[in-house]
Amino acid sequence: MKRKKSTSFKFRPFSRKQKKLLMWWTDKSPYKDHDMIICHGSIRSGKTVAMIDSFVTWSLAKHQHQNFIIAGKSMGALKRNVLEPMFQILTAKGIDYHYHRSGDPYVQIGTNTYYLFGANNEASQDTLQGLTAAGAYLDEVALFPRSFVDQAIGRCSAETNGNGGKLFVNCNPAGPYHWFKTEFIDKAREKKIFVLHFTMNDNLSLSERVKQRFYRIYSGVFFQRYILGMWVLAEGIIYDMFNEDEHVIDEWPIDIHDYQVAIDYGTKNPTAFVLQGIHYDTDGVATYYNLKEYFYDGRAEGKQKTDNTYYEDLETFCDGYTTEVIIDPSAASLIALIEERGVLSVTKADNAVLDGIRTVSRLISERRCLTHRSCINLLRERTSYVWDEKASSRGEDKPVKDFDHVMDAERYGIYTKENRGVRLDDYTAALMRGARVHG
């Protein structure tokens, strides 16, 4: 048993909506007989912290010697979004806990055991098999496979002194035909589910300046979902915040600290390389410049290239700039060849499509993703990269798989760098090397 050290949580005044969330299960609440609470809405709206506090308080007040489920999209997301604030809240309240990380991870609080799960694919439901629980906390449930949610609901059958199981669920909105929206939120009354919709105004700790910043950096479907908290279709042009006057440059920047080459590899489809220059400000925050591109379409040219030829083109493309390449992990044959030659350093891309699109969208809105005018294929795709309306009608968010090869390469490079959180280290290393100028 290992006690994890944690800083104490600094409680701020709770809004009326947060107080409803904190008290919904108590004896005097009109919702005490409901089986589930769903809190959905905008980002930074205060729903997560209040839900963690409510879930832990309910489980300790109503149950002893019971098991509980705590799940996130992945174990990494669960630790970052749920466990860290949960441990801070427990520390602030003087409640002892033990975090067991080896084997099947769990947290022990008093006599209760809270088992931890990632729900990133259909097989995740298998990890719940055989577990009897008194309740569950599901974080960002719209990102879960439905099978995991159904299995978690079926596991919550334990009772203590007549107190039955309850589910605490939160999420940001997706499309209006998403299974969670149609099967749970839309059927809340018949399924005895208490639903609360949150906006940024329900988080009293957010200043007006911070809220205005979020209003500025999101647009289109992401603004409607993550700022307004609406379940709306993803339709039209994906990067609708792109503006040629603001986001296209004619000269190479003179203060590039680092370079990387992002690759979307195709056998029958086109192959694209993008040279990305990165500038770091004094806080280590990156601005990305798409500076030059390579694009080859075997069908249009009437001749396919071999991996060996693509490798030779890649080495020439990188020469004088970088040895770091970021590539879709599905390009197994080209990755193997690059590693065999030993000249270039391979990073397998984080290729989560929606998270990557959201990140690139945010950086474009913040003018931290700029493109040189010579990247004609990238700029052409930027204005023709659209949401798949047929997928939207099925409750899925997907781009149309046409004219997307340079878009994919760009996303691999930017999202992989941003998602791995290495910007400050990169900045320090870049300063030691000194800024490099090319053009």
Burial of 412 (0-12, 13-18, 19+ CB in 10 A): buried
In single-letter form, the type of residue at position 272 comes to A
**pTM for the predicted model, two decimal places:** 0.74
Please provide the DSSP assignment of 168-224 as one string.
EEEE----TT-HHIIIIITTTTTTTEEEEEE-GGG-TTS-HHHHHHHHHH--HHHII
H helix and E strand count, the chain:
17, 15
Asked whether the beta carbons of 118 and 74 are under 8 A apart, the reply is yes
Here the contacts of 21-28 (C-beta below 8 Å, separation 24 or greater) are: 21/47, 21/50, 21/51, 21/54, 21/196, 22/50, 22/53, 22/54, 22/57, 23/54, 24/54, 24/194, 25/54, 25/58, 25/62, 25/166
Tokens of 325: 């390449």
- Non-local CB neighbours of 245 within 8 Å, separated by 6+ positions: none
Half-sphere exposure of 436 (CA within 13 A, CB side): 16
The DSSP element (H or E) to which 248 belongs, if any, is: strand 248-249
The domains found in the chain, sorted by start residue, are 16-225 (3.40.50.300), 244-433 (3.30.420.280)
Report helix, strand or coil for 347: strand
Strands (E), 30-189: 36-41, 67-72, 98-100, 106-109, 112-118, 135-138, 166-171
Going residue by residue through the chain (439 aa), what tens digit of pLDDT does each one get? Answer: 444 455 655 667 899 999 999 999 999 999 999 999 999 999 999 999 999 999 999 999 999 999 999 999 999 999 999 999 999 999 999 999 999 998 899 999 999 999 999 999 999 999 999 999 999 999 999 999 999 999 999 999 988 888 889 999 999 999 899 999 999 999 999 999 999 999 999 999 999 999 998 888 887 888 899 999 999 888 888 998 999 999 999 999 989 999 999 999 988 889 999 999 999 988 889 999 999 999 999 888 888 899 999 999 999 999 999 999 999 999 999 999 999 999 999 999 999 999 999 999 999 999 999 999 999 999 999 988 999 988 888 888 889 888 899 999 999 999 999 988 655 455 555 555 554 544 4
User: Token digits for 305?
Assistant: 């290239």
**Backbone angle region of 279, left / alpha / beta, with phi > 0 → left and psi within -120 to 50 → alpha:** beta
Token pair of 120 as six digits:
């990133």
3-state secondary structure of 348: strand
Number of other CB atoms surrounding residue 222 within 10 Å: 22
Pairing, β 112-118 against β 106-109: antiparallel
**Distance from first CA to last CA of the chain, Å, rounded?**
57
What pLDDT score was predicted for residue 95?
Answer: 95
How many whole angstroms separate alpha carbon 236 and alpha carbon 141? Answer: 26
Report whether 82 contacts 72 (CB < 8 A): yes
